[in-house]
Structure 1
Amino acid sequence: MKKVKLDNQVIWFDESLIPEEQLNYAFEPAYWQEQGKIVGSAMGRGITWFVELDTMQGALRHYRRGGLFGKLIEDSYVFIGESKSRSFQELVLLDRLKKSGVNVPTPIAARIVKQGLTYSADLLSEKVPHAQDLASLLRRHRLSESAYYKIGNEIRKMHVAQVNHTDLNIHNILIDDQSKVWIIDFDKCNSQSGDAWKQANWERLKRSFLKEKAKGAINWDESDWDYLF
């Protein structure tokens, strides 16, 4: 990754995926709108914009706080160093996982905008092509035993890379039209040694299945859980 500083911005980017001259505007949805290159969007904590780059489709996300604190301070974080910034850390994790053979979006660029003692952050990563999240798929039909095993195997690969996904749920596991499993959304996740923390990832994922099942929203039975292993 190459690093540049533009006024109060610090940007890290893969120059094989996005040209440096585009960086001044690449994190602004209005720029992509003017170019006619917004190809979709998704709602989460904020809006993720899907944009058409020369090399691939990208997902542009502005970091926002959740919970009660997020209502007071929507998108500012205390600056304690570039390497500690949310977008840089997620960029590094994605790069590490990609190199470890885990199916995650390709990291393209990350930005922080410093404002005194605080900063805001943005991330541009690959939009996984022709993929839907597990929750959406299970609303329509059951999954096969082999599909569940593939999901479990991708999580095990992530754990071998010693990455702790602290918000593993059925909304950030994707399956594409080639039945390939992807894991997304590594904000606030981290590299971690040892094995003790890995069980917490599995337990969080199971709670996600149970929560949606309790709503009657998905075609899933608790016995399906065993197919992950």
Structure 2
Amino acid sequence: MKVETTPRQAHTRTEANSSIVFDPAAVPQVDARWFEPAWWQAQGLLRERHGGRGSVGFIDSPAGALVLRHFRRGGLLARLRGDRYLWLGAARSRGFREFALLQWMRAQGLPVPQPLAARCVRAGWFSARADLLSAELPAAQTLAERLRAGALRAGDCAAVGALLARFHRAGVDHADLNAHNILWSGANLYLIDFDRGRARRPARRWQRSNLARLQRSMRKVAPDSMVDDTRLMRECWQSLLHAYAAALRDGNGMQAS
């Protein structure tokens, strides 16, 4: 079953080899400069920038705090293709697809960052580059950061389990569910980074795969003292699974096999 996630409140602008989709209610005026870190840096508005698979910039703009992500490949393809993806049309580019999915999830009441705009730039006949601009979540702290600091609070693991159940009930398959993509902003929990994510029919198989990926990530980032104390890790994970299962039941989230 394919779930329709076409953005319902979005405008698209095409100029030369570039296409931009944006939410006019959030950012009435967006142009190509918004996707260039150097432009923000020249104005003294680029607060920080991180590398890695998805180059991310944090921007203090007049429109508010923004996160600019440039899509990059991971693994072996990173050396061969870098930030280039197969051109299949702007609507099917990585940025446009994540923008549409984020809008759809927000319409479902799911806690995700507000998408502001996305860009697709042709790079030759068969390739394209992609960017995504979203609102920054204030005072954010990831699950990975809490694990590393040994700062998990009572109820944190259960809260994460309940959060994941909400997304799974809605049929959201996160392609890279890990401890870095679950974060607190104040007292609220969010899920971020939906590159290659999709909305699909709820089913145990892909949901279990999501959870297994998260468990591996948590073990990887947790301090040695916590990993060595198998009781702590087991209790945390069991608390997560218990809350996850309870939230699925409460939401009548019966899943297909």
Task: Provide TM-score, normalisation by structure 1.
Answer: 0.92
Task: State the alpha-carbon separation in 2 of the partners of residues 8 and 53 from structure 1.
Answer: 26
1:138 counterpart residue number: 147
Task: State the alpha-carbon separation in 1 of the partners of residues 17 and 142 from structure 2.
Answer: 36
Task: State the alpha-carbon separation in 1 of the partners of residues 66 and 39 from structure 2.
Answer: 14
Alpha-carbon displacement from aligned partner over 1:64-93 (angstroms, at most 9, x marks no partner): 111111111101111122222111111111
Task: State the alpha-carbon separation in 2 of the partners of residues 90 and 183 from structure 1.
Answer: 13
* Paired residues for 1:21-170 under 5 Å: 22-115=30-123, 116-170=125-179
User: Does structure 2 conserve the Cα–Cα contact (< 8 Å) formed by 1:145 and 1:224?
Assistant: no
Task: State the alpha-carbon separation in 2 of the partners of residues 118 and 104 from structure 1.
Answer: 29
1:210 counterpart residue number: 219
Compared CA separation, residues 128 and 217, structure 1 to 2 (3 A): farther
Whose radius of gyration is greater, 1 or 2? 2
Note the residue ranges of structure 1 that are not aligned, 5 or more in a row.
none
Note the residue ranges of structure 2 that are not aligned, 5 or more in a row.
1-9, 244-257
SS in 2 for 1:153: helix
1:194 counterpart residue number: 202
- 146-155 or 84-93, larger mean C-alpha shift: 146-155
Answer yes or no: is 1:223 the counterpart of 2:248: no
AA paired with 1:154? Answer: L
AA paired with 2:49? Answer: S
User: Does structure 2 conserve the Cα–Cα contact (< 8 Å) formed by 1:135 and 1:218?
Assistant: no
Task: State the alpha-carbon separation in 1 of the partners of residues 202 and 94 from structure 2.
Answer: 23
User: Does structure 1 conserve the Cα–Cα contact (< 8 Å) formed by 2:55 and 2:71?
Assistant: no
RMSD of the alignment, in Å? 1.8
Task: State the alpha-carbon separation in 2 of the partners of residues 100 and 6 from structure 1.
Answer: 32
Alpha-carbon displacement from aligned partner over 1:114-143 (angstroms, at most 9, x marks no partner): 132211101101111101111111222342
Compared CA separation, residues 70 and 142, structure 1 to 2 (3 A): same
User: Does structure 2 conserve the Cα–Cα contact (< 8 Å) formed by 1:59 and 1:125?
Assistant: yes
Q: CA deviation at 1:217?
A: 7.4
Task: State the alpha-carbon separation in 1 of the partners of residues 198 and 96 from structure 2.
Answer: 12
Compared CA separation, residues 37 and 142, structure 1 to 2 (3 A): closer
2:180 counterpart residue number: 171
User: Does structure 1 conserve the Cα–Cα contact (< 8 Å) formed by 2:68 and 2:133?
Assistant: yes
Task: Provide TM-score, normalisation by structure 2.
Answer: 0.82
SS in 2 for 1:221: helix
Q: Hey, which bits of structure 1, 4+ residues long, moved more than 3 A?
A: 217-220
Aligned residue-pair number: 226
User: Does structure 1 conserve the Cα–Cα contact (< 8 Å) formed by 2:168 and 2:202?
Assistant: no
Compared CA separation, residues 46 and 164, structure 1 to 2 (3 A): closer
Q: CA deviation at 1:147?
A: 1.9
Task: State the alpha-carbon separation in 1 of the partners of residues 62 and 142 from structure 2.
Answer: 25
Q: CA deviation at 1:218?
A: 5.7
Give % identity.
36
Compared CA separation, residues 217 and 87, structure 1 to 2 (3 A): farther
Q: CA deviation at 1:171?
A: 0.9
